[in-house]
A = this chain, B = another copy of it.
Amino acid sequence: MSHDTSTTSEGALLVISAHAGDFVWRAGGAIALAAERGQRAKVLCLSFGERGESARAWRDGLRLDEIKELRRTEATNAAAALGAEIEFLDAGDYPLLETQELVDRVVRVYREVDPAVVLTHTLTDPYNGDHPAAARMALQARVLAQAVGYDAPGEPLGAPPVFFFEPHQPEQCDFKPNVLMDITSVFDKKRKAMECLAAQQHMWDYYTDLAKRRGVQLKRNAGPNLGLAHGTMGEAYVRLYPQTTDVLA
């Protein structure tokens, strides 16, 4: 397996997600690995997922403000477990509305963080319209942030690569992974972060199983001679823009 050891360790990882919990299930391994390498890792939650991803809290009779606070606390703990910063834009969910004002706020985050890598949702998800909405805003803001003429503080952004993290039903979202990431060494951190999301206990095992599954595929694609220990854990991604490199591996 090719282990890129690029100089991106100096650049930041920016994760843009629709709801408060998405980054844990879908990108927890990548975040923990970045943090371990010393990269700044920042999670930007456009909403708390207070309406669409908090069924149990509603059934338990909590109020909207209580649910938001609950989700904030959980997500903050999970980010800490992974070694990441977290910021909430509280833009509302179900639906997460695409507004130019919200895009502008995301542009400002790009300019401030100056990420070397960006992670976000897929552009297709027939089960959850907030996910593609977040992705479209993440991509639009990235392009706007690149323009010297865009009126926001900071320097124009470079061209950080963008990776889509894995949706809940990947095939239905046309998610065909072209990157399989080895997260074995940090899986315990990802599990701990998952356990911060107390209301979604059934997901802990679901996403542990998924990590195993992606790990098996990783081994299959990396080849049997790579000395990957049994029990490899993985995360799957789709790279949006072409990889730029000077070695094929």
State the A residues within 8 Å of B (CB).
1-8, 13, 30, 33-34, 37, 50-52, 54-55, 58-59, 67, 94-95, 97, 100, 103, 116-117, 119, 126-129, 139-140, 143-144, 147-151, 156, 158-161, 163, 168-172, 174-183, 185, 206, 209-210, 212-213, 216-218, 220-226, 236-237, 239-249
A sample of 30 inter-chain contacts (CB < 8 A) reads: A2-B243, A2-B244, A3-B246, A4-B4, A4-B249, A30-B248, A37-B247, A52-B144, A52-B149, A55-B147, A58-B149, A67-B149, A94-B143, A95-B100, A97-B100, A119-B248, A126-B241, A127-B143, A127-B220, A128-B143, A160-B223, A161-B249, A163-B248, A172-B177, A172-B242, A180-B244, A206-B213, A209-B212, A217-B242, A221-B244
Distance of A135 Cα from B100 Cα, bound (Å): 19
Nearest B residue (CB) for A1: B244
Distance of A8 Cα from B116 Cα, bound (Å): 24
